[in-house]
A and B are shown apart, each in its own frame.
Chain A
Amino acid sequence: MKGSLGRLARIFLTYSIKMTTLLLAVSVISFALVSESPVDPVQQYILGLGTAVSPEQREQIEDYWGVDEPPAERYIHWLSELLQGNLGESLLYRRPVADIIGERFLNSLALMLCAWVLSGGIGFTLGCIMGMYQGQWPDKILKRICYIISSVPTFWLGLVLLLVFSVWLGWFPIGFSSPVGVLEEEVTIWQRLYHLILPAFTLSLLSFVNIALHTRQKLADVLNSEYVLFARARGEGPWTILRRHGLRNILLPAVTLQFASFAELFGGSVLAENVFSYPGLGSAVSAAGLNSDVPLLLGITLFSTLFVCVGNMIANLLYGIIDPQIQEVSL
């Protein structure tokens, strides 16, 4: 037990080092890209003020923002603020970036978690069905559906769902995370869930196909293995084989893939949130991009890097817990 705790600590430490260096690299690259881009934060700031500014005032502002300093100096300045927990202030929302990220992330997390569970559940189940009926009609039909869904863009699918379920059928709200005209404090959890269903479903469509097709292939490999041949020789029927050997052997790759899909999920949430006007990180990042809100953009970039990294780290840690071969070897 002590050994495995020590091992966990070691893995954790290695990951922290890796993650820190990655975050540093991402911060350098994104900072450099923003510095080189035609985005002018000063102009944006002034526009946001809503009043006219004299050239002297503008100079003052430029001085305050350090426009004339060399980029390296500005980067170091920004980084040192960042390390103290100051992500700066959003030009668009006029609030600290950290607050916006925190608030938006909760919304996004709810959405992504729902989509993640849905896509994992649906994908794994469909994958198992396809694998069991490989080459037969259930497999053929489901495979076609998977191919169609994976070749359709998410935002378009989102629009279609919105059109059918919200506009024509009126089953679900058109957008937002809570009803319009209701105070934040009065919104119930059911109302939030109700607003979540359609965007979450759209988002899950993005990644369940991947998991389904992958699971199908893995299951097919397992069913062709020698140990399944022996299981059949011992009189095990197809469903017993799935229960005793199939699930056990395909769970690990499916779980890994599921956690690795964090990145896709995050990318997909940008589109889904925009289509459904859902106030999450995804819609914030596109708003920040379109409105040249540099502090918010950089903040979200770093945050999403962290988010995806954590997903991958969880997948790697789970590997060791689920797969006894890896567990024993590393002990």
Chain B
Amino acid sequence: MEQKKETLLEIHDLSISFRMYHQGLEQKELQVISDLYLTIYPGEIVAVAGSSGSGKSLLASAILGLLPGNATVHGHLHYQGQELTPERQRRLRGREIALVPQSVAYLDPLMKIGPQTDGHEKSRSPERRRQLFARFGLPEETEGLYPFQLSGGMARRVLVSTALLTDARLVIADEPTPGMSLDQALEALGMFREMADEGRAVILITHDIDLAFEFADRVAVFYGGTTVETAPASDFKKGPEALRHPYSKALWSALPQNGFHPIPGFQPYPGDLPEGCLFAPRCPLKTAECTAAVPPVQEIRGGEVRCYHGT
């Protein structure tokens, strides 16, 4: 991968914990994201893969500064080289950084789709939205409908449109494709690709791993709230030998087309995280040092991996 100097978004050692009431009035800090790293360069699509509960959606909220009040964030978030402070997040969201949320629940149930898609900024003309809807195969009368009248796939296309209508330099798409037909999903991802080629960037949080590999430049694999590996998407097409982390290899083998081989065990729950490497309890390569301390991030063959035994 060619190394670009200017990063768009840099995340280092990000940890997020929630203050919860444990038993009675006893408070407890619940660590949900630990030592997460992710770097986004302009012009690329980074797919974030990982099972449910691996902290994918929380990452989006953290970047936008939309975590609930009981969350504590540690670590570094840099956008275009400058620290992403809450004040800056407020200024950037919706303008520089756009979100494609997960489901129809993110649309105001009592507002018609047209004005809702256009957003609160009056300067936007409905013309661009109509063109976009046409490209997505959304019928013209969609703009007069209410969210509850949309099918799941229509709602996703509307949600994707909201982000495409902005001039955001960074789009965070949280599961944008489920419910769409293959054609529509390809269309949506194709538009993300176009955005990226214009020099913008997309974080694609997804379960549709195959599609993600097709359109993304790099893939970040999350496990238990941390990044275990980031690798060029092409490595995921080559197979487990090209990957670095044992979890990435396991994830690859668990895909239906690659044999559907599960590994025993389950992802650790927040509040019950193991010492050292989070994957150690399930790892075939586990040694004493894995459980002693969290492995540092190493660069191997153009990818980054958090493992003592990365190959």
Contacts and interface: CB of A to CB of B under 8 A. Distances in A.
A233 B101 contact: yes
Contacts of B121: 235
B288 to A, nearest CB: 44
- The B interface, classified by DSSP as helix, strand, loop or mixed, is loop
A232 B64 CA distance: 9
A226 B146 contact: no
Contacts of A226: 101, 103, 105-106
Interface stretch (B42-50, B108-116, B262-270): B108-116
A64 interface: no
A245 interface: yes
Contacts of A323: 110
A244 B108 contact: yes
B149 interface: yes
B15 interface: no
A240 B119 CA distance: 11
Nearest to B149: A328
Q: Per DSSP, are chain A's interface residues mostly helix, strand or loop, or mixed?
A: helix
Given A233-B101, A325-B148, A249 B66 contact: no
B107 interface: yes
Contact of B162 (A234, A244, A324): A234
A229 B106 contact: yes
Contacts of A230: 99, 101, 106-107
A234 B99 contact: yes
Contacts of B146: 324-325, 328
B238 interface: no
B182 to A, nearest CB: 26
A230 B147 CA distance: 14
Contact of B109 (A227, A233, A235, A244): A227
Given A240-B120, A324-B146, A234 B98 contact: yes
Given A249-B109, A324-B146, A229 B66 contact: yes
Interface in A201-219: none
Contacts of B108: 227, 231, 244-245, 248-249
Interface in A234-280: 234-236, 240, 244-245, 248-249
A227 B105 contact: yes
Interface in B117-163: 119-121, 146, 148-149, 162
B93 A232 contact: yes
Nearest to B95: A235
B94 interface: yes
Contacts of B90: 235
A234 B105 contact: no
Nearest to B105: A226
B163 to A, nearest CB: 9
Contact of B99 (A227, A233, A245): A233
A245 B120 CA distance: 11
A248 B109 CA distance: 9
25 contacts: A226-B103, A226-B105, A227-B105, A227-B106, A229-B66, A229-B101, A231-B108, A231-B120, A232-B64, A233-B94, A233-B99, A234-B93, A234-B120, A234-B166, A235-B93, A235-B94, A236-B120, A240-B120, A244-B120, A245-B108, A245-B111, A249-B109, A324-B110, A325-B146, A328-B146
Given A229-B106, A236-B120, 7 more contacts: A227-B107, A231-B108, A232-B93, A233-B64, A244-B111, A248-B110, A325-B148
Interface of A: 225-227, 229-236, 240, 244-245, 248-249, 323-325, 328
8 nearest A-B residue pairs (beta carbon): A235-B94, A230-B106, A234-B94, A233-B99, A226-B105, A227-B108, A248-B110, A226-B106
